[in-house]
Structure 1
Amino acid sequence: MVEYWQELLIFLGGLWAGTINTVVGSGTLVTFPILVALGITPVNAVVSNAMGLVAGGFSGAWGYRREALQVKRTLLKLVPLSLIGGLIGSLLLLNLPESVFGVVAPILLAAALVLVIFQPRLSAWAKSRQAARGGTDPDAADQAKIPLVLYILVFLIGVYGGYFTAAQGVLLMAVFGVFLQASLQQSNAIKVILSLLVNLIAAAMYLIIAPERIHWIVVLLIAVGSLIGGFIGAKVGRKLSPFWLRVVIVALGLVALGNMGYKLVNGG
């Protein structure tokens, strides 16, 4: 039985998770530790958390609807890959040992942080190529050809997101900065929507295959908190400069990496 102070803690965790998920991602790194600390088993915590954060994804996507419309062609091309990846990832969560995540996740996150740190130089190189091909049309992001490597990476991040959900936004923003010709806010809009779809398909699979793992009170508290947080995050994220948004990405990524590395080293 969840006590009142625990309910408040879960709600506040959902509020903060919804806010930062819209801005950059990694909201699960707030809510997941809270749920585990309160005695919920890790897999059940992942399942309940992912379902609760769907609400925040909807509010965040609505907040970034203008930027999403600017890159709707790109978005439509990437959506199927995220959905298929999320489906596979959720099935892996329900069938593989949780220890697998502890080994794979730090490697993925470390690679993402390297991409984020070097993103300005890589983006400058990409923009110079774009200018050489004929200017910097603000709509060029939706008209440019998407490289094959981006399709592959979006699919793999979808698998990862369906398995644990944590830091998939960081990974998406990192690869978008390198392989997608879009502004930071346009990339953020795509990230919010793709992350939402991964959580949505994963939630559907949890509900169909393992409903006994769902803690509905937790889902409700995180859903309400993340719904409010999603609207807050959309406003905050749009006002942040590209530099500070990258700072947030790297800072949260380092916290996540330290947390995962500690658990891996200590066998937890």
Structure 2
Amino acid sequence: MPSSAPPPLRCPLCGGRLKVPTPGEAGRRALVCGAGHSFDAAKQGYFNLLVGKGTVFEADSAEMVAARFTFLDAGHYRPLAEAVSHAVLAMVRPGTPFTVLDSGTGTGHYLRAVLDDVSRISDDVTAIGLDISKFALRRAARLNPEAINLACDVWQPLPVADAAVDVVTVIFAPRNAAGFARVLRPGGRLVVVTPRPGHLAALAGQTGMLAIENAKDARLAESLAGHFVPESTRDVDIRMMLTPAEMADLAYMGPAGHHLDRATIAAKLTGREPVSAVDALFRISVFRQARPSP
């Protein structure tokens, strides 16, 4: 399902529009702006737009990404992916071009679910996936070859044109409220997924995962205030029956993976039953753009 129109990208160095190579175009694959700034495609299919002094955000490692891919590819979070897709579908209109930006696309599994469903309604779909981890983008580019996958820092100016996107999805990723508001078209929506208190409680204490704070919803709204207002929420609960190996992948693929290795996490799970129940508790929040003050 290739995009009908080139993604509306802009150069991270000068802000000029980036020309995107069309499928089958002769010559090297590169994003090039009018000023001559050029960004070649990695052999895995994504483009690296990280420029300047870099980012203070710690990217997920190859091992963390591998654990996430294995866990998500087994379908454990499929109900969440379907619920995210359902939220996005509410903004799709048959016969109308549609552009989705997945900020923090990771391995691309959630965007894959969105694209599969949106393509049943519209044949004019443009998809952009952003992530800071080149290891995640290698996976995402293979899973979503019709999307443009970009390595960039979400806290820097987003490499997307103004008012060019219909929906922004943010699933367990940082939220640049001003940036998202800039790239969304009037009437566009921001779809955010966060964990709820009690998320993975049967696993968190034993493996060193961070607990979910009770005021997370208030902090989310506060972080978006001035740019977005809440429109709707939907809770998604998933009871999973997991082996110790699957639980180790689940713990390691998140923030705990930045300060614990997988072997340490697996050791903490020694003695668990062959299969244990683990509850994942999510909230999908949809926001609309705040109206500017008169």
TM over 0.5: no
Structure with greater helix share of residues: 1
Structure number with larger C-alpha Rg: 2
TM-score, normalization by structure 2: 0.26
Give the structure with the higher percent strand: 2
* TM superposition score normalised by structure 1: 0.27
Higher relative contact order (CA 8 A, sep 6+): 1
